[in-house]
Amino acid sequence: MKFYQLSPEDRIKTLVGDDLLSPEDASALLTFRGLDDDIANNLIENQIGQFALPMGIVRNLAVNGRNYQVLMATEEPSVIAAANNGARIARLNGFVVASAPKRRLVTGEIVFGADSDQDADRIAQILRLNQDKIKAIADQAHPSILSYGGGLVEWQIECLRQAQPRGQVQVRERVQTWPREQAQPYEQIQGKSQLGGKYFVKLALHINTGDAMGANIVNTICEAVASASGSWVGRKALVAILTNRVDESQTVKASLEINPKTLKTKDLDGPSLARRIEKLSNLAFCDYDRAVTHNKGIMNGITASALATGNDTRALESAAHSYAAREGVYRPLSEWTVNEKGNLEGRLHMPLSLGTVGGATDSLPMAALAKRVSGAKSVGQFQCLLAALGLVQNLAALRALAGPGIQQGHMALHARSLAMAAGAQGAEISLVSNRLQDGDKSLERAKQILESVRARKNTETGETGKTGKKSEKGENNRNSEKGRKGE
C-alpha cells in the first residue's frame, strides 16, 4: 500500500522503520491527546479549552541535496497531498536550491513625535550624538544574546512627515549612524514647511536575534533604548516595538528547474503544461486578483509548517504580503518561466519570519517534535526548507490549474470533511465520502447518504438505529434470506 493509504498508526510505524522518526517521538504522536492543563492555562490568557488541528507530513522534500520530512498542521483538505506531489516532482528533477541570509536581523522602531521640522531636526541630531550610548544600552538590555554573536548591529534615523492627503508619507531622510564608520553627515532639508502635516523621528534598530524569531528580544531592547533616549530628547517615545516588515537583505530564495516530461498528466503533455504554467505566472504579474490567490497557494504550505512548529503565523503572513506589495502594487512571490532548454524554472523570493528556539517552539510538545523531525539545525536551514515547501506547493497548485483544474482532486478530499460534518463516524466516513464522489458534493447530500448508510446497517444487523435495541424479527431471521438483504 502507498503511504497515504495506510492508517495513521501504520504511517508512524513506516516512518520509524525508515529511521525518520524515533520510537520516543512515535510514542508521543500515538498518545498525544492535547496539552497539559498547566501549559494551556499559562500559554494564553482566559484559557477555557483547547482547539485541535490534524498534523500531517510531507515526505522527502529535497532541498540543497538533502531530504527533509516536514510536518504541517492545517484544516484544509488537499494542501498536504499537493505538497507531497510537488515534492515528488522536485525529487525527479534533483532538488530545490535555497538560500537564506547568513545573519538574521530583526528590526525594531522607536518613534518620537515632533512639533515641527526644526523640532524633528533637533531630536534626530541628539540621537545621532548618542550613538555609543544606544549601543551600550541595547547590550545591557539583553546581554545573553551577545554570547552567540547577537545583539544590536546597526541603527538608523528617519525623519517622517505625514503629508496630505492622509496616508501618504514623505520620508525626509535616512541617516545611518551605527556602526560609526558607516555614519553619514546629517543634512538639513530645505523647503520642508511647505507641505504641512505631522512630524515624526524614527530610530530603527537592526538586531541579530540568532535562531530565535526575536520579538521579545527586540521589544526588550527597544523599550530600554526608548526609556533612555526619551530623557535625552525631553519627551517620551510614542512607540517602541519591533516591525514585522522584513528588509530586502533578509529575504530567502528558492529555485527549481524542471524537465517538462515530469509534469505530464493523463490529458496533457509536459511541454504544454510547462507553457501553461508560465502563462499563469505571467497573469499573476498583471492581474491583482490572480496574484493574491497565487500567493495564498504558496502560504498554504509555509503557514501550515510554521503553525506545526509553534511559529507566529501572523508575523509570517504580514511580512510576506507586505513584501509582495513593496513596489506599491501587489505582486506574486514566485515566478515560473520556460527557459531556452524548454525546462520550466521556478523562483521564489520572500521574507520568512521564523524561529527555531524559544517561545511556543519549545513549550508546545508537538511543535518541539515537528522541529526534531524536520532535522533543521538552524533558523537559516529552516527558512530554506520552508521556502522550498512554498515553491513546490505553488508548483502543484499551478500544475493542477493548468491541467485538470483543482476541484477534481480537492473535492474528492473535501468529501471526507463533508461526511464528518454530516455526523459520520468511523467506517461511515469512507462509506459516505466514497458515495459523494459521484454527483453533488454538498452537506445536505452527505446527510442523506449517511441516513441511507445507517438505515442499511440497521437492516443488516436488525437494530432500530434509534434505541440501539435489536428487533425481534431481525434477531429471529438474521440467518434467513430476508435478514441478509442488502449485503
- By annotation, the residues acting in catalysis are 76, 296, 312, 410
Identify which of 144, 102, 403 has the alpha carbon closest to the alpha carbon of residue 277.
403
Concatenating the DSSP letter of every residue in 253-288 gives EEEEEE-GGGG--SSS-HHHHHHHHHHHHHHHHH-H
Helix, strand, coil % (nearest 5) of the chain?
A: 50, 20, 30
Look at residue 213 and give its three-state secondary structure. coil
Could you give the C-alpha distances from 219 to 75, 138, 313, 349, in angstroms and in order?
32, 11, 18, 27
- The one-character DSSP state at 235 is S
Judge whether 162 and 169 are in contact, CB under 8 Å.
yes
Q: Using CA atoms, how far apart are residues 247 and 473, in angstroms rounded to an integer?
A: 76
Q: How are strands ordered across the β-sheet holding 252-258? A: 97-99, 252-258, 344-350, 334-338
Residue 434, number of CB atoms within 10 A of its CB = 14
Q: Using CA atoms, how far apart are residues 174 and 241, in angstroms rounded to an integer?
A: 19
Chain-centre distance of CA 334, in angstroms?
Answer: 15
Q: Using CA atoms, how far apart are residues 373 and 18, in angstroms rounded to an integer?
A: 12
